[in-house]
Amino acid sequence: MAAIVKSYCIAILFLGLVTNGKELILWFCDCSFNDIGVGQVRSERLIQGKPEWNVTVTNNCSCFQVLITLACKGFQSVEYVEPSILFKQGDICMLNKGHRLDGHASIAFSYAWDPPFLLMPVNSTVICTVSGE
Ligand SMILES: *[C@@H]1O[C@H](CO)[C@@H](O)[C@H](O)[C@H]1NC(C)=O
Ligand SMILES: *[C@@H]1O[C@H](CO)[C@@H](O)[C@H](O)[C@H]1NC(C)=O
Ligand SMILES: *[C@@H]1O[C@H](CO)[C@@H](O)[C@H](O)[C@H]1NC(C)=O
């Protein structure tokens, strides 16, 4: 897997590269926030009479992504949602404090409200590392 990512990154080397000493970082990886998938399933639980939803946010791409934001207009929950996982700023929620979500990795959280919120990905910054992983 790492080897595939590596050759893929080298193939787009001409697009731009910066060294920061330890790792090579390439931008313009062929990924975007469109490769972020948000899945929600209703759990068995009711919290204060409201259904609980289990949300899984998956980076469906080989390169890691940072500063992932989700549309979360009007988002509320009677279940406490850890702000380090989902931090609401107006109509936008920052995922994982803006920290990296690795390629093909997921982050999960639950909230409780009726009806559920759509939580569409709106933005991210894609970073493709050649080494240092
Ligand atoms: C994630 O990848 C799978 C397999 O390539 C694909 O079927 C699915 O539609 C992708 N989902 C998103 C949100 O990109
Ligand atoms: C929802 O999340 C809770 C807590 O992580 C877990 O115990 C439960 O099995 C999950 N339910 C579903 C339907 O995924
Ligand atoms: C997405 O984030 C980039 C910086 O990472 C910013 O320049 C751009 O305006 C943002 N786009 C939207 C739709 O928020």
Ligand 3 pocket, mutate which of 123, 124, 125, 127 (most atoms under 8 A from CB): 123
pLDDT on residue 19: 45
Ligand 1 site, residue 39, Cβ cutoff 6 A:
no
State the closest ligand 1 atom to the C-alpha of 38, by its place in the atom list counted from 1.
13
pLDDT tens, per residue, the chain with 133 residues: 444 444 444 444 434 444 444 445 554 567 889 999 999 999 999 999 999 999 999 999 888 899 999 999 999 999 999 999 999 999 999 999 999 999 999 999 999 999 999 999 999 998 876 433 4
Closest C-alpha to ligand 3, atom 8: 123
- Count structural domains, the chain: 1
* 64 part of a folded domain: yes
DSSP codes, 50-64: EEEEEEEEEE-SSSE
Q: Which domain holds residue 106?
A: 29-126
* 3 part of a folded domain: no
DSSP codes, 79-131: S---TTTEEEETTEEEEGGG--B-TT-EEEEEEE-SSPP---EEEEEEEEESS
Q: What is the CATH number of the domain that holds 85?
A: 2.60.40
- Does the global pTM surpass 0.95? no
* 131 part of a folded domain: no
